[in-house]
Structure 1
């Protein structure tokens, strides 16, 4: 691959990240599934847990497939399925159709996950700019958040006019992102696909993960925060209803959340440079655990401001964690290891969403959020205590990663 191709990949990837996200459905998705899809919140948690379990079984082979047939082809397949899932969501009016849309999304996500960031990193490496990965991925996510910030402003009013309208209008941009994927240039020479070779790559990737304490630490820390954030996200709409926030203001609230995430995603690389890994991890745990705990303790409109802190983490986590992980793995196994990370994350989300959905059937939303907040703080501090032993050994003077 020529340097010019690598540079074009980086530019296209920025647009791909922006357009692959449905622009209008974030503020109203759970309300849409509840009111149009006719599902309860515990049923939504159960559905998501099953879908994420499917991701667990698809992530590793799809990552190995990306290493074999190429990131580009895998991204294209995932993008096509992602577009189809949005269309099915937009015409659904029953739990069965919502399930179908989610299953299609599951397959598409598994195909695309890992392959996209691996393509970006390898393109930057080809251009001699891999040290800029954190800055570029953070900037791409920040640009997406900025676009979504403005689109969210009208999502609530669109939902009030017609609940399907936000989903219908989200489809064209996702379709454009699929077309963009065809213009990527494969950064690595790929091999002819065969089942035996695929499982060899999967096995090698698992060995790398299980034998490397640093990779395991990064995976488990990211897993905790992303799982907690996933559970928390699904409480947004029900919490809005609980404090009697009008539907037309859902989009305004999400705009505030997205502009917060945009700012911290945009500046994530600066924060990483000024603070060591352990300090960053400590701050992230506090910003997730404490606000959700307070929201559960004090159910009111004022408590909605606590969600802003979770979106600080939302903007910061991906550039922070993916940069750490990429420093620990080689290019030949990058997509596989990243997909293994996603598979671990999916299995943890399956367990956590199932448990949280079950607890919601018994206790109030506020009490369940208290449990979530305390769990994040306890588990987060346990993981952070392991950082010095794993990364620094017994030397107190050794420089942090």
Structure 2
């Protein structure tokens, strides 16, 4: 079991060494897609995750985190094989479906495996430190992939996807070698009623957990949405294509930097201050991007990414501290469920608005939604804390 954390690092690497990300929008456009098509593809991915997110999280709680991680890594490999041979919208849609299923099985199970491993080793208080390191590894991987992916794209825009299939394969043996830690409570039956009871507990009965889940969900939406706006934003401010990979790499290195030291910030600042910082720098950053261009836009992007790196491991720790082990993967999946279903609803709208009107107003619209949602969650947190 001592190797679990190292193996989780490898699974994270296989997910986040994304060779295709710096050029994916350009790749889609080269294959005849417009922004509304691109956001529709991501909506397909999000809807797939939405449908399977909570059942797969519950499956991880019932059947074990290892089995769901193995299945998830296999499906990820299959998704990138599909991308490598697809040339049109429907081929890409099949790839996004497979990757969406993969994401639903990995999401929640990986963090639950990490927390339970540390809990079994009597090191649960190190969770935010280890989650921060894993988050940092993911972003270091994405940063390095940005450089290599750009070089591969110089040969062919399809080559990064072919190489990505090889990277995804690394996760399969890593998942197979994981050792399932014993948990202190066992779920007896896999039923929709049991899932519904867990959702009721998370979203209705445990009001503090509800506030954390809601806040973390809106924070997650900022990261997911921004990933698909960055390349159009670079284009809108006339950044040369050759700089896309360099800036993408630099942004991800900034996330890694703050993620490594997030646990220190968590111990130094009160929870309310952390929540407000995340809300105003991530959600508010979208709004500022809508009014910015040139160097100021790049500076705002870096501020968003720096705070995102700090916020991700801390927010997951807030959730884990308020969650029992026997429902941990389900609870983390509920968070991802909310992120994906919201993204599935608003992303086609944002894509359509960008195509028909302008990017700046779409960014302001998105930022207003995200900031408002996080501030409402802070209100719920303060209300529950006061009671």
TM-score tier, shorter chain, comes to over 0.9
Check whether the contact 1:160–1:247 (CA below 8 A) recurs between aligned residues. Answer: no
Answering whether residue 12 of structure 2 is matched by residue 17 of structure 1, we say yes
- In structure 2, what is the Cα distance between the partners aligned to 1:185 and 1:130? 17
- In structure 2, what is the Cα distance between the partners aligned to 1:354 and 1:391? 37
Within the candidate set 128, 131, 153, 1:134 is matched to 128
Over aligned residues, Cα RMSD in angstroms?
A: 2.2
Q: Which runs of 4+ in 1 moved over 6 A?
A: 189-194
- In structure 2, what is the Cα distance between the partners aligned to 1:341 and 1:49? 17
Q: Look up the match of 1:113.
A: 107
Check whether the contact 1:148–1:258 (CA below 8 A) recurs between aligned residues. Answer: yes
Q: Look up the match of 1:388.
A: 382
Q: Look up the match of 1:396.
A: none
Give the count of matched residue pairs. Answer: 386
Q: Look up the match of 1:349.
A: 343
Q: Is 94-103 or 40-49 further displaced after alignment?
A: 40-49
Question: Any gaps of 5 or more consecutive residues in structure 1?
Answer: 394-401
- In structure 2, what is the Cα distance between the partners aligned to 1:347 and 1:48? 11
Q: Look up the match of 1:397.
A: none
Q: Deviations over 1:37-80 (max 9, x none)?
A: x2211222122223312222211111111112111011000110
Check whether the contact 1:82–1:108 (CA below 8 A) recurs between aligned residues. Answer: yes
Equivalent residues in 2 for 1:18-57, closer than 5 Å: 18-36=13-31, 38-57=32-51
Question: Any gaps of 5 or more consecutive residues in structure 2?
Answer: none
Summarize the Cα distance change of 1:192–1:337 in structure 2 as closer, same or farther, 3 Å threshold. Answer: closer
- In structure 1, what is the Cα distance between the partners aligned to 2:77 and 2:144? 22
Q: Look up the match of 2:86.
A: 92
User: Normalized against structure 1, the TM-score is what?
Assistant: 0.90
User: Normalized against structure 2, the TM-score is what?
Assistant: 0.93
- In structure 2, what is the Cα distance between the partners aligned to 1:181 and 1:121? 16
Q: Look up the match of 2:365.
A: 371
Summarize the Cα distance change of 1:82–1:190 in structure 2 as closer, same or farther, 3 Å threshold. Answer: farther
Tell me which protein shows more helix as a share of its residues: 2
| Secondary structure, counterpart of 1:386 in structure 2 | helix
Summarize the Cα distance change of 1:151–1:229 in structure 2 as closer, same or farther, 3 Å threshold. Answer: closer
Within the candidate set 291, 297, 303, 2:285 is matched to 291
Report the CA distance between 1:152 and its aligned residue. 1.6
